[in-house]
C-alpha cells in the first residue's frame, strides 16, 4: 500500500528509526560474538568450534524460519509479529547473558534470538516496501536499513570487543536486551501497519517444515565436514531431498488452488532470482570474513577482544561510506552497475588482504583489505534488496521479504560454516595457510555472486522520469 499524500514526512522518518534499529541489533548479534571466542571458550569451558556452532546455529535458525515468518505477517499483522519477535529476542538475550554453559547459550542465543529475529525482520522489509514508493525513495529507506545491517555486522566486533574488555562478554547480551527495549518503546506509536491482517489466511505447515528441515540439514552437513566426509555428504544429500520435496509441495498446492508457503511464481522471476543469489553471496562473504579474521586475530595473533574489534573499524568505515551513499549512487547508476562494482571491490579487498597480511606483519596491513571489503559490501547491499523487493507487487511482499531474508541469512550461516569448517579441519599443516585458504574460498564464492550480478538487467536504473517519491522522500 502506498503512503497517503497527506502523510507527514516526520511520521515516516520516525517509523524508519525503530525498523532500522531492529535490523542493526539482529546483524550485531550475528557478528559480535566473533571477538568473544576466547572469552566464551574459557568461561563456559568449551572450544572455538563450540562458539562457531553457536554462531552458525543462530544464523541458521533465522534462515530456516524467515520464510514462515514472512508468511505469518499476512495472517497476524506486520506490527504484531514485529513486537512479538522483539520480546522473544529480548528474553533470549537475557538468557544468554546468564548462561552457565554452552547448552543454555545455544538455547538463548541460537534458538530464542534466532526465532525472534525470524519473526521481526520480515516486517521490517515489508513495512519499508509498503511505505516508500519509487526506486529512489526505496533506495533511500533501504539504504538506511542496509546501512544499519552492515554497520551492525561490521561494528559488532568493535562494540562487542569494547563491552567484553571493559565488563564481560555477558554484558554484550545485556546491551542487546536494552536496545530491544528502546525499539519496543519507539515502535509503539511510530510504527503503524498500513495493511490490516487477515486471520483467515491459511498457513502451509508442511511447506514450513520441509523448507526448515532442508536448510538445517544442508548447513549441518557443511559443519560435519571436519568429522566425517560420508556424514557430510549424507546430510547435504538429505537436505537437498527435503528442499526438493518442499518445491514439489508448493507446486502441488498451487495447482490445487491452495495457498502454499511460497508461490512458485516467485522463482520464475529471473531478475529476482539473480538478486537473491547476490544477496546470499554478499552475506556469505561478509560473515565469513568476519569470523575468519576475528578467529585469526585471536587464535594465531593472540589479540584480545578490544584489539580485534578495533581492527574491524576499517571495514566498518568502508561500509558506512558506501551505505550512506546509496541514495546518491541510485540516482546516478543502474542497480546492476552498483552490485557488480560492489562484488569487484569486495573480491579485490580479499586479494589485498591475502597479499599483505602475514603472521608477523604490521597491524596496519589489515586496514586496506578490510576497508575495501566493507566498502564493497556496503555498495551492493541496498541495490540488491531494492532489485528483489521491487520485482513484485504489494500482495507478494510478505512472501518475497521472507524469502529474501532467508536467503541472506542462509548466506551468513554458510559463510561462517564454510570458513569455520576449513579452519577447524586444519587442511594444511600451517594455521596461516588454513586462514588464507578460508579467505580464498570466500573470494571464490564472490565470483559466483559477480557472475549473477553481471546477468542482471538494467531495468531498475533510476532516470529523470522516475515517478516522484511519496512524502517520505
Residue-level pLDDT at 7: 40
Residue-level pLDDT at 8: 39
446-461 average pLDDT score: 82
Q: How confident is the model at residue 12 (pLDDT cuts 50, 70, 90)?
A: low
First CA to last CA distance, the chain: 16
235-244: list long-range contacts, CB under 8 Å, 24+ apart. 239/213, 239/214, 239/215, 240/214, 241/214, 242/210, 242/211, 242/213, 242/214, 242/217, 243/210, 243/211, 243/214, 243/215, 243/218
The whole-angstrom separation of Cα 322 and Cα 344 is: 14
For residue 388, the Cα-to-chain-centroid distance in whole angstroms is 15
Q: Are 147 and 7 in contact (CB under 8 A)?
A: no
Does 261 score more than 50 pLDDT? yes
What whole-number percentage of the chain has pLDDT above 70?
87
Does 387 score more than 60 pLDDT? yes
Who has greater pLDDT, 84 or 12?
Answer: 84
The whole-angstrom separation of Cα 109 and Cα 356 is: 35
The whole-angstrom separation of Cα 397 and Cα 157 is: 32
Q: How confident is the model at residue 9 (pLDDT cuts 50, 70, 90)?
A: very low
The whole-angstrom separation of Cα 94 and Cα 178 is: 10
358 contact partners, CB below 8 Å, separation of at least 6: 365, 432
Mark 48-71 as b/e (b = at least 16 C-beta within 10 Å).
bbbbbbbbbbbbbbbbbbbbbbbb
Pick from 94, 20, 100, 96: which is nearest to 58 by CA?
A: 96
398-405 average pLDDT score: 74
Residue-level pLDDT at 182: 93
Does 429 score more than 70 pLDDT? no
For residue 36, the Cα-to-chain-centroid distance in whole angstroms is 20
For residue 54, the Cα-to-chain-centroid distance in whole angstroms is 16
Q: How confident is the model at residue 417 (pLDDT cuts 50, 70, 90)?
A: confident
Does 371 score more than 50 pLDDT? yes
Pick from 169, 21, 138: which is nearest to 387 by CA?
A: 138
Does 284 score more than 50 pLDDT? yes
Residue-level pLDDT at 95: 94
Task: Give this prediction's pTM.
Answer: 0.74
3-state secondary structure of 360: coil
Could you tell me which CATH class the domain 9-203+261-454 is placed in?
mainly alpha
The whole-chain average pLDDT of the chain stands at 80
Q: Are 76 and 125 in contact (CB under 8 A)?
A: no
Who has greater pLDDT, 275 or 145?
Answer: 275
Amino acid at each position: 500500500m502506498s503512503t497517503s499524500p497527506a502523510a507527514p514526512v516526520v511520521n515516516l522518518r520516525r517509523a524508519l528509526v525503530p525498523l532500522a534499529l531492529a535490523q542493526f541489533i539482529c546483524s550485531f548479534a550475528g557478528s559480535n560474538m566473533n571477538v568473544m571466542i576466547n572469552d566464551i571458550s574459557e568461561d563456559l569451558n568449551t572450544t572455538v568450534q563450540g562458539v562457531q556452532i553457536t554462531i552458525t546455529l543462530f544464523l541458521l535458525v533465522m534462515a530456516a524460519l524467515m520464510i514462515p515468518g514472512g508468511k505469518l505477517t499476512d495472517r497476524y499483522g506486520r506490527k504484531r509479529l514485529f513486537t512479538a519477535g522483539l520480546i522473544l529476542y529480548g528474553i533470549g538475550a537475557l538468557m544468554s547473558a546468564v548462561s552457565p554453559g554452552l547448552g543454555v547459550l545455544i538455547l538463548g542465543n541460537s534458538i530464542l534470538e534466532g526465532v525472534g529475529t525470524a519473526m521481526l525482520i520480515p516486517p521490517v522489509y515489508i513495512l519499508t516496501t509498503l511505505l516508500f514508493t519509487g526506486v529512489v525513495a526505496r533506495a533511500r529507506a533501504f539504504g538506511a536499513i542496509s546501512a544499519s545491517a552492515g554497520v551492525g555486522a561490521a561494528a559488532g566486533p568493535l562494540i562487542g570487543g569494547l563491552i567484553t574488555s571493559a565488563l564481560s562478554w555477558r554484558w554484550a547480551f545485556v546491551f542487546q536486551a536494552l536496545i530491544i527495549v528502546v525499539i519496543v518503546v519507539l515502535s509503539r506509536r511510530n510504527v503503524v501497519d498500513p495493511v490490516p491482517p487477515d486471520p483467515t489466511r491459511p498457513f502451509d505447515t508442511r511447506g514450513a517444515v520441509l523448507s526448515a528441515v532442508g536448510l538445517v540439514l544442508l548447513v549441518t552437513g557443511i559443519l560435519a565436514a571436519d568429522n566425517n566426509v560420508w556424514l557430510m555428504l549424507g546430510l547435504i544429500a538429505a537436505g537437498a531431498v527435503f528442499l526438493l520435496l518442499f518445491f514439489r509441495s508448493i507446486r502441488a498446492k498451487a495447482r490445487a488452488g491452495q495457498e502454499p508457503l511460497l508461490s512458485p511464481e516467485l522463482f520464475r522471476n529471473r531478475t529476482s532470482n539473480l538478486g537473491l543469489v547476490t544477496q546470499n553471496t554478499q552475506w556469505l562473504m561478509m560473515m565469513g570474513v568476519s569470523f575468519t579474521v576475528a578467529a585469526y586475530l585471536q587464535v594465531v595473533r593472540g589479540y584480545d577482544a578490544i584489539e580485534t574489534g578495533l581492527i574491524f573499524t576499517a571495514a566498518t568505515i568502508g561500509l558506512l561510506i558506501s551505505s550512506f551513499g546509496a541514495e546518491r549512487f541510485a540516482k546516478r547508476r543502474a542497480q546492476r552497475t552498483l552490485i557488480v562494482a560492489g562484488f569487484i571491490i569486495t573480491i579485490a579487498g580479499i586479494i589485498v588482504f591475502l597479499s599483505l597480511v602475514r603472521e608477523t606483519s604490521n597491524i596496519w596491513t589489515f586496514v586496506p583489505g578490510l576497508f575495501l571489503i566493507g566498502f564493497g559490501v556496503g555498495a551492493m547491499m541496498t541495490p540488491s534488496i531494492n532489485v528483489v523487493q521491487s520485482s513484485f507487487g504489494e500482495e507478494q511482499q510478505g512472501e518475497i521479504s521472507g524469502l529474501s531474508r532467508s536467503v541472506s541469512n542462509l548466506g551468513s550461516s554458510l559463510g561462517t560454516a564454510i570458513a569455520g569448517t576449513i579452519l577447524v579441519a586444519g587442511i594444511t599443516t600451517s594455521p596461516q595457510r588454513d586462514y588464507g585458504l578460508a579467505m580464498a574460498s570466500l573470494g571464490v564464492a564472490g565470483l559466483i555472486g559477480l557472475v549473477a550480478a553481471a546477468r542482471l538487467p538494467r531495468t531498475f536504473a533510476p532516470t529523470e522520469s522516475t515517478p516522484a517519491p511519496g512524502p517520505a522522500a
